[in-house]
Amino acid sequence: NKTIVITGVSSGIGADVAKFARMQGARVIGMDRNPASLSLDGFVQLDLGDPQAIETALQQLPTKIDALCNIAGVPGTAEADLVGRVNYLGLRHLTQSLLPRFNQGASIVNVASILGAEWPKRIEEHKALAQTNSFQTGSDWLAKHPVEQETCYQYFKEALIVWTSQQAFSWLRDYGVRMNCVAPGPVMTPILGDFVSMLGEERVQADADRMLRPAYSDEVADVITFLCSDQARWICGANIPIDGGLASTYI
């Protein structure tokens, strides 16, 4: 049976991925800053924005892993520094630290967003950030290249998409692990209210209208579960939109 590590397991999309994985017989180890109410095979409570907490958590994680789902995230209503630490630097630190533990054919799925669709506009910056390669050097780089509060959520989702595509090939070659992103449009989870505060009701409604309604969290979880499976073995370095075609309207 597969062993799957899931961040953001206590709510929304992460909780549904955990449910589906357990239904398929996987051993699920969850991570979140909030306690989990669903039943899991293991749970580590931590703040993913804190690299020391990640180091401690690593001791409680399995030594052999088949999938890592990086789902935890904070909205842009949080401070830009926190958004960067949780949605990018912490995610990256956890993923890099787990690399030696992945079994051949393992899968990493990062949850980006439709709001990261404009990554080509800042490609050089995102490539430079991707090269920093550790939590500390990433923090130092960001201190010299401050990110605007208004667009910090977008910025770090863009950075995640670019980092994923930059990193995927060498990790496939060196560790036999595939890494991909999914980029959902609006999903009916607690964070959606924050997107309304960030972007306005009209924008969120218009984005949701592409598919006639917002997604339910299980509809995103289904795609993540597929990407973790061996059926997705030829998908690597991709950013899979789950958005009613919205991303292509940015081009």
99 contributes a contact to ligand NAI by CB under 6 A: no
Smallest Cα–Cα separation from 136: which of 89, 98, 91? 89
| Contact (CB, 8 A) for 58 and 36 | no
Number of residues engaging ligand NAI in binding (CB under 6 A): 28
Given 2, 5, 11, 228, the residue binding ligand NAI (CB under 6 A): 11
For ligand NAI, give the closer residue by CB, 38 or 192.
192
241 contributes a contact to ligand NAI by CB under 6 A: no
Build a one-symbol-per-residue string for 211-230: x at contacts with ligand NAI by CB under 6 A, - elsewhere. Answer: ------x-------------
Task: State how far the Cα of 60 lies from the Cα of 48, in Å rounded to an integer.
Answer: 14
**153 given a catalytic annotation:** yes
Phi, psi of 52 (to 5 degrees): -65, -40
| Contact (CB, 8 A) for 67 and 34 | no
Site for ligand NAI in 129-148 (CB under 6 A): none
For ligand NAI, give the closer residue by CB, 175 or 214.
214
Tell me the closest approach of the beta carbon of residue 203 to ligand NAI, in angstroms.
Answer: 12
8 vs 83, 174, 205, CA distance in Å?
14, 27, 25
| Contact (CB, 8 A) for 168 and 237 | yes
Q: What is the largest CA-CA distance in the chain?
A: 46
49 contributes a contact to ligand NAI by CB under 6 A: yes
Structure tokens at 248: 């292509």
Tell me the closest approach of the beta carbon of residue 104 to ligand NAI, in angstroms.
Answer: 27
Number of C-beta neighbours around residue 9 at 10 A: 28
Tell me the closest approach of the beta carbon of residue 135 to ligand NAI, in angstroms.
Answer: 13
Tell me the closest approach of the beta carbon of residue 183 to ligand NAI, in angstroms.
Answer: 7
64 vs 61, 122, 177, 185, CA distance in Å?
9, 36, 13, 33
For ligand NAI, give the closer residue by CB, 38 or 191.
191
For ligand NAI, give the closer residue by CB, 51 or 73.
73
110 contributes a contact to ligand NAI by CB under 6 A: no
Site of interaction with ligand NAI (CB under 6 A): 8, 10-14, 32-34, 47-49, 71-74, 86, 111, 113, 184, 186-187, 189-192, 195, 217
